[in-house]
Amino acid sequence: MRKKLFVTIIQYGKGLFDLAESTFFIRLLIFFYRLPVLLGKICQGQGLLKSMKPKLLILKTDPSLPDIEGDWLDECEIKTTMELSHHKILPLLMTEKPQVLIVNTDGSSLKTLSLCSKIRRYFEGSILVIAPHNNTEYKKALLDCGADDFLTAPVTGQIMTDRIKHFSMKTNVSKVAIPPDNQKPNLQIGNILLDKTKRVVSIDNREINLTASEFDLLWLLASNKNRIVSRESLYQVLLKTEYDGLDRCIDNRISRLKRKLQDNSINPQLIKSVRSEGYILVEE
């Protein structure tokens, strides 16, 4: 009886061992079967981490200028070019798709002004200009040509980090659309005609030279004429980012737009600021 019991226990133990061995073998097969999927997810995760880095294109307008340096560069994907022809830069922008174009200039080049103006017509990202001295008139001219910000070199790492983080957020926030009053290709506001197909604005049949961002701003306001468009909405639709309560990008565009439309800045008749609300385009 004891012998029979002992044999039963041995057989039972062997069965458990065989089961454990077969379970281990099955799990091993499952592991190797799932290995490509796991490796794919790991690679995808690495790609995601890489894509989370802000993508920058640095344009150096003069070989004698010092290179932009700093630890913050390690946190970005960077490509540098010295091409000064917009015919060559625009394809590069389309290929690289940077979030921010950093223009490293001497602070007086008229070629840089012309370049910024031409790039802004087609480039939806941010343009940050860095120059060795703070020339007020040159800074104003750059902003009029479509630059989003101007910094005086040398720039501290923290300032650059904050600027790049702010600008790169513009492409990471979903666009919030405002239903327009008019979906037609043309809008007429008084003596101002907006042609969305050609992206042209004219006053009394005289064409006004607007950048792409200025046209988008005017079209959005004109589509919602006689209605207040909040700053939050303007930032979400035009800049694809949230309004932080401090940024002046839209305000600068409004000022340039008023000047080009010959709207009196002291007593505006067309585009008016509504305190703590936003802007309204008035058609009387």
- Residues 119-168 have pLDDT tens digits of 877 777 888 888 887 778 888 888 888 888 888 888 887 888 888 877 77
The tokens for 217 are 């701003």
Which pLDDT value is given to residue 151?
87
Which pLDDT value is given to residue 161?
83
**Strand 100-104 relative to strand 126-131, pairing:** parallel
Distant-in-sequence, close-in-space partners of 43: CB < 8 Å, separation ≥ 6? none
Which pLDDT value is given to residue 190?
87
Distant-in-sequence, close-in-space partners of 229: CB < 8 Å, separation ≥ 6? 178, 220, 221, 278, 279, 280
Query: Of 114, 126, 45, which Cα lies nearest the Cα of 84?
Result: 114
Which pLDDT value is given to residue 3?
55
Which pLDDT value is given to residue 257?
92
Which pLDDT value is given to residue 219?
92
Q: Which run of H or of E encompasses 274?
A: strand 271-274
Integer-rounded Cα Rg, in Å, for the chain is 29
Which pLDDT value is given to residue 218?
93
CA 83 to each of CA 86, 91, 104, 130, 257: distance values in angstroms, whole numbers, following the listed order:
8, 11, 12, 17, 29
Which pLDDT value is given to residue 269?
84
* CA angle, residues 164, 169, 174, in degrees to nearest 5: 165
Say how far apart CA 204 and CA 181 lie, in whole Å: 23
Which pLDDT value is given to residue 201?
93
Domains and CATH numbers, the chain: 55-171 (3.40.50.2300), 186-281 (1.10.10.10)
Low-confidence residues of the chain: pLDDT under 50: 6, 16-17, 19, 37-38, 40-51, 172-177, 179-182
